[in-house]
Amino acid sequence: MWENVFHAIDEQYENMVKTRRHLHQYPEVSFKEEKTAQFIADTYEKLGIPYESHIGGNGVLARLEGGKPGKTVALRADFDALPIQEENDVPYKSKNEGAMHACGHDGHTAALLGLAEALLPHKEELPGTIVFLHQHAEEYAPGGAKPIVESGALNDVDAVFGTHLWVNAPTGVIQTSKGPFMAGADRFEIKVQGKGGHGAQPHQTKDAIVIASQMVSSLQQIVSRRVDPLKTAVLTVGTFESGTTFNVIADSATLTGTVRTFDPEVQNLIIEEMEKVIKGTCETNDAAYEFTYEKGYPPVVNHPEEADLVLQHAHKADASLRTEEIEPVMAGEDFAYYLLDKPGTFYFTGAQIPDHYYPHHHPKFDFDEKALPHAAKTLFQSFISYQER
């Protein structure tokens, strides 16, 4: 029944690529996406689709009301970039120093804008209302999803669907889970205050590098020795900053890192055990410390019925697509806030460049642009499947 719409999406392919490459050249990091948000708003202005800007910050929401009665479904695409210097040698390389679309959000935006343009001529055929939800600031807490939900702009929405272009999966593969899908993502910072001194006189100091190094080793044992092996958790120390020169013993050190969990009890256990490790290590070495733990995005927990719609019906959008129900991944996503508020699901759209790809957040990250219409088609299919269930 919807073959004409899927064909219209295919016809948007070159336009999607053009949009994606434009956005890729002009990335803006979280909470600073003013020009990107304006580009999105200008696109809906040209299409004549009603929209609102500055939702929960830099968010943009557009609404396409179908000609037939039905439910209101939001389709989400994020549009922020990362503070990474791009190392790709491509014509559409980032022109903004120190910023890069290294996670595919430029593709998410291009796919959703392409879908909006493809659907416009078929407006009267559509049941219900599609909300094109363009979200800012996914990469850094507090993120953009929570303030958008709190703004009340989605109060009339019945369900929310979203996808992430995913280079860990081959192009043509759609992946999701019924239930927990992505982990809660927290951030911590530890400041160790010792006593500096001459590199030749360590006995007169409290070496912050040695103390912090002991701490790192002990922190790594929390998951392996304190968390139930049947539970899932990750604790990563991501940065270690200390010292000024080769012959001076550092007086202070700062560690930052992340904790990923699915279970609040495991999360709380890790926080308690971290405090013990940090306090014990510093007391043993007669050092002081500051420990800051920020609970970030909650886990992405898909609603089983909506996840099943993706798994069972995605192939209707394109016969070349196949679906996989996968184990949860430890990456985090603030799409979690939508799923705490509304039914829906989040899924991966395979976008792997065969034999040559770099992971998300890598300075040479890129994705297979042939996945753009797959993302647009499956989002539309999710909308239709939810209407027809």
Residues assigned a catalytic role:
80, 138
By C-alpha distance, which of 387, 385, 344 is closest to 128? 387
The separation between CA 122 and the C-alpha centre of its own chain, rounded to angstroms, equals: 31
* Binding site listing for Mn(2+): 103, 105, 139, 164, 361
Q: In a 10 Å sphere around its CB, with 0-12 CB exposed, 13-18 middle and 19+ buried, how is residue 228 labelled?
A: exposed
Residues with Cβ within 8 Å of residue 363, at least 6 apart in sequence = 84, 85, 86, 87, 88, 100, 102
SS3 readout for 76-101: EEECCEECCCCCCCCCCCCCCCCCEC
Interaxial angle between packed helices 13-25 and 371-388, expressed in degrees from 0 to 180 and rounded to the nearest 10: 110
3-state DSSP of the chain: CCHHHHHHHHHCHHHHHHHHHHHHHCCCECCCCHHHHHHHHHHHHHHCCCEEEEECCCEEEEEEECCEEEEEEEEEEECCEECCCCCCCCCCCCCCCCCECCCCHHHHHHHHHHHHHHHHHHHHHCEEEEEEEEECCCCCCCCCHHHHHHCCCCCCCCEEEEEEEEEEEECCEEEECCCEEECEEEEEEEEEECECEECCCHHHCECHHHHHHHHHHHHHHHHHHHCCCCCCEEEEEEEEEECCCCCEECCEEEEEEEEEECCHHHHHHHHHHHHHHHHHHHHHCCCEEEEEEEEEECCEECCHHHHHHHHHHHHHCCCCCEEEECCCECCCCCCHHHHHHCCEEEEEEEEECCCCCCCCCCCCCCCCCCHHHHHHHHHHHHHHHHHHC
Task: State the binding site.
Answer: 103, 105, 139, 164, 361
Residue 337 dihedral angles phi and psi, to the nearest 5°: -65, -35
